[in-house]
Structure 1
Amino acid sequence: MSLSTLPVHESGPVGVVAPVLDVVVPVYNEEIDLEPCVRRLHAYLATEFPYRFRITIADNASTDSTADVARRLTDSLREVSWVHLPQKGRGRALNYVWTHSDAAVLAYMDVDLSTDLGALLPLVAPLISGHSDLAIGSRLARGSRVVRGAKREFISRSYNLILRSTLSARFSDAQCGFKAIRADVAERLLPMVEDTGWFFDTEMLVLAERAGLRIHEVPVDWVDDPDSRVDIVATAMADLRGIARLTRALGTGRLPLAALREQLGRNPLPVAGVPAGLTGQILRFAAVGVASTLAYLALYAILRDGMGAQWANLIALLVTAIANTAVNRRVTFRVRGSDGAWRHQAQGLVVFGIGLGLTSGSLALLHLMTSPPTYVELGVLVIANLIATGVRFLLMRIWVFRATRGAHASA
């Protein structure tokens, strides 16, 4: 995307040339705070921001005099516009304004201006240059300075911990009201975002990560607004429902993330002689393999005395092979949804047969030579399993998941 980056004084008349940046301020019944917020933001942008800008007030069905304040601001400040939505929902307001804006970079911030405005240019600069696709202010990144109560600090950190454990999120702060996105990315990404409330940010960021987009994080100075009217309990429950819904959607593979990744995703840097994605697959496969081998050895040791070495090996290997295929399908090769799952398991059993031949053959050969103690059997099985693991990875990459590897890949 080619962005125009002429300074404000060279921009020409507003309305003729589109702004580089559109900052959305979503509000609901903010008749008191709206005017000082917008005037402070406008003054900062007019003096410190080097590109054309617009401030858009997104009124979420306010019932007080917020609309009157917004009209007064649009009359007195030419870079300010106002949109009224008949329904509440911060996500709904952002989605509407961002998809109708003609700016190259789209941002938003909360009306309380808890985040220091000095972070705005560092937030959007990587988007203007094309280096990144989205940008977020983070209160949890190293270098940030935050003033807020222990309760909100605990809730924020707990929420981000939940995101990391359930959705494998790698961004550090989903809830900070200070974010930006390139317009071309928003055009393709936002139609996939279903939430219209507070979970909108999180859903957008998770989908962006899964599509391979680059998210830039800026540590911010942030001071908690003691007059915040956010219902923490209701918001937390809505967020948890959103996490459950998004987990199901990603698990079933119903979101067309592969197409989005193909259009906008950033492919891994090429390394001569190394197929794309191979290093990451090897590392993930190795981690799954270690866990699978430990489970196999534990199960074999439990079954060995009751049913003998060969039967114990058969059952332990069969159980762990089924689990290994399922986990590698999702974790190593990033295949989502149920399509082809049974075929992958059937092919995995063929691979299991090869592993069974290696381990059973090793045991048979060992018992022909001697009557070994259990620890010697386990040592031989470890070596046989290492060989079988290498064969398993090769067959999974070039045969079992070859056809689906690219189609279902996600970040």
Structure 2
Amino acid sequence: MSAAEPLAEEAPLLDVVIPVHNEEAALADTVHRVTRHLERLPWSWQVTVADNASTDATPIIARRLARELAGVRVVTMSEKGRGRALKRVWSESTAEVLVYMDVDLSTDLNALLPLVAPLLSGHSDLAIGSRLTRGSSVVRGPKRELVSRGYNVLLRSTLRARFTDAQCGFKAIRRPAAQALLPLVQDDTWFFDTELLVLAERSGLRIHEVPVDWVDDPDSRVDVLRTALDDLRGIRRLGWSLLTGRLPLATVSTELGRTQSRAAAGRTGTQVALFVCVGIASTIAYAVLYLLFRQVTGGQVANLLALLVTAVGNTAANRWLTFGVRGPQHLVRHQVQGLAVLGAGLAMTSGSLAVLHAWSATPHPVVEVLVLTVANLLVTLMRFLAMRLWIFRPSPALVEELSAG
């Protein structure tokens, strides 16, 4: 169960969300500081206190602030989770730009204007405060510094993230981007920020980074070890979803009118990597099957049988892993097209065998395998292009549907 104060009749340009859980000591001062700062900005605004199942006086203080201060409202939820709170408030808000900041205000509020200005102008889709980019000023202990930098190095190496600071509690997003991305974000806790940013980047959205002045809160109750373990699980889950193409990021890019050039390049690189892995497994399987069949039949027949078995497996593996095609729809057609590609591969490999036998009447089976392996490697590029541009190419109807969306 949850409850919320009604939104203002006229939607503000900014909705500044402050998620809280048992923050009775800090909440009033924070809300007063934030509202005083917002009054100096040239845009309409509201402040939303998102209470995450607090068990102290936080809900009472929040409701009192909403009564006393114009532009302050409260959303109350029965479950904890920063990501859950932001999903709820951002999904319901009618503001043009949705902002999030931590209740401890570790980030200097003077960074708010440069954070939201590129979003209001339409220059960027998301904006994040960064403690790790040039121009930032950070005061914190060596342990937190090491953890923060190590985490962002991990994101760059595993998820190929280009942004510099995933976890700074100072972010903003345009409402259309939020509406497109939030349904895809699974995490409801601390990994929410990272998941949102990675999905935005892979969708071709523009992320603006603002250097911030940031002072660590010595009373922070974040469990660093537990958060780190949760983040590692989140990285594994999100990485697998990206590798297997389960997320409709092309649809997000189309809906928001982005070119997706960077996202497409990243997806192509992922497809090539997965295709190579499937190809290596297929080549090994082909060599083993050829040697087995060669014990009971001639070279050409053994080649045909080995190619048939591995071609069906190769098409199925690339369909599911490399190109992210799920379900039975067009399964038979895809296999038939895969067999057509097999025909071209068979012609090339059979031709290489014919050349070998013309050169040596009784070549050793191992030599035959080596020659056929080289021929199959040459066929690999042709097979990838055929799968990408022909077999698993989106239908014109789907492309038209995505463009219309």
TM-score (norm 1): 0.72
Q: How does 1:168-317 map to 2 (within 5 A)?
A: 169-243=161-235, 259-264=251-256, 266-268=258-260
Deviates most, 57-66 or 187-196: 187-196
Q: Which amino acid aligns with 1:30?
A: E
SS in 2 for 1:82: strand
The match for 1:273 is none
* Structure 1 residue 90 displacement after superposition: 1.7
**8 Å contact 1:310–1:360 — kept in the other structure?**
no
After superposition, the C-alpha distances for 1:248-267 in whole angstroms (9 at most, x for unaligned) are 76678776656544422513
Deviates most, 189-198 or 113-122: 189-198
After superposition, the C-alpha distances for 1:215-241 in whole angstroms (9 at most, x for unaligned) are 333343333222101123443444455
Say if 1:398 and 1:61 are closer, same or farther in 2 by CA, change over 3 A.
Answer: closer
Q: How does 1:369-408 map to 2 (within 5 A)?
A: 369=359, 384-385=375-376, 387-403=378-394
**8 Å contact 1:212–1:265 — kept in the other structure?**
no
Q: Percent same amino acid among aligned pairs? A: 58
C-alpha distance in 2, partners of 1:345/1:205? 37
Cα RMSD after superposing both structures: 4.6
C-alpha distance in 2, partners of 1:33/1:139? 23
* Structure 1 residue 109 displacement after superposition: 0.6
**8 Å contact 2:126–2:206 — kept in the other structure?**
yes
**8 Å contact 2:129–2:171 — kept in the other structure?**
yes
C-alpha distance in 1, partners of 2:157/2:209? 20
* Structure 1 residue 179 displacement after superposition: 1.5
* Structure 1 residue 107 displacement after superposition: 0.7
Say if 1:292 and 1:75 are closer, same or farther in 2 by CA, change over 3 A.
Answer: closer
Deviates most, 219-228 or 160-169: 160-169
Aligned counterpart in structure 2 of residue 368 of structure 1, from 358, 373, 389: 358
C-alpha distance in 2, partners of 1:300/1:259? 37
C-alpha distance in 2, partners of 1:249/1:297? 26
**8 Å contact 2:345–2:376 — kept in the other structure?**
yes
Q: How does 1:313-324 map to 2 (within 5 A)?
A: none
**8 Å contact 2:278–2:314 — kept in the other structure?**
yes
The match for 1:358 is 348
The match for 1:107 is 99
C-alpha distance in 1, partners of 2:244/2:349? 35
The match for 1:10 is none
Say if 1:327 and 1:119 are closer, same or farther in 2 by CA, change over 3 A.
Answer: farther
C-alpha distance in 2, partners of 1:250/1:285? 10
The match for 1:94 is 86
Aligned counterpart in structure 1 of residue 31 of structure 2, from 30, 33, 38: 38
C-alpha distance in 1, partners of 2:138/2:308? 52
Q: Which amino acid aligns with 1:182?
A: R
The match for 2:75 is 83
Say if 1:239 and 1:391 are closer, same or farther in 2 by CA, change over 3 A.
Answer: closer
The match for 2:52 is 60
**8 Å contact 2:95–2:175 — kept in the other structure?**
yes
SS in 2 for 1:229: coil
* Structure 1 residue 132 displacement after superposition: 2.5
Say if 1:370 and 1:241 are closer, same or farther in 2 by CA, change over 3 A.
Answer: closer
The match for 1:4 is none
SS in 2 for 1:81: strand
Say if 1:400 and 1:20 are closer, same or farther in 2 by CA, change over 3 A.
Answer: same
C-alpha distance in 2, partners of 1:68/1:85? 14
Deviates most, 249-258 or 177-186: 249-258
Q: Which amino acid aligns with 2:351?
A: G
Aligned pairs, how many? 387
The match for 2:16 is 23
C-alpha distance in 1, partners of 2:320/2:162? 18
**8 Å contact 2:282–2:314 — kept in the other structure?**
no
SS in 2 for 1:364: helix
**8 Å contact 1:321–1:348 — kept in the other structure?**
yes
* Structure 1 residue 370 displacement after superposition: 5.1
C-alpha distance in 1, partners of 2:87/2:291? 63
Aligned counterpart in structure 1 of residue 127 of structure 2, from 129, 135, 159: 135
C-alpha distance in 2, partners of 1:327/1:118? 52
Q: Which amino acid aligns with 2:258?
A: R
C-alpha distance in 2, partners of 1:149/1:315? 64
Say if 1:255 and 1:280 are closer, same or farther in 2 by CA, change over 3 A.
Answer: closer
C-alpha distance in 2, partners of 1:201/1:281? 21
Question: Which residues of structure 2 form unaligned runs of 5+?
Answer: 1-6
After superposition, the C-alpha distances for 1:343-393 in whole angstroms (9 at most, x for unaligned) are 445643542342243134124313413589999989976874565244323
Q: Which amino acid aligns with 1:359?
A: T
C-alpha distance in 2, partners of 1:335/1:121? 41
After superposition, the C-alpha distances for 1:131-171 in whole angstroms (9 at most, x for unaligned) are 33222223344554443334334444454455556656554
Question: Which residues of structure 1 form unaligned runs of 5+?
Answer: 1-13, 270-275
Q: Which amino acid aligns with 2:89?
A: V
Q: Which amino acid aligns with 1:369?
A: W
TM-score (norm 2): 0.73
**8 Å contact 2:119–2:126 — kept in the other structure?**
yes
SS in 2 for 1:124: helix
Say if 1:299 and 1:111 are closer, same or farther in 2 by CA, change over 3 A.
Answer: same
C-alpha distance in 2, partners of 1:293/1:255? 24
Say if 1:327 and 1:220 are closer, same or farther in 2 by CA, change over 3 A.
Answer: farther
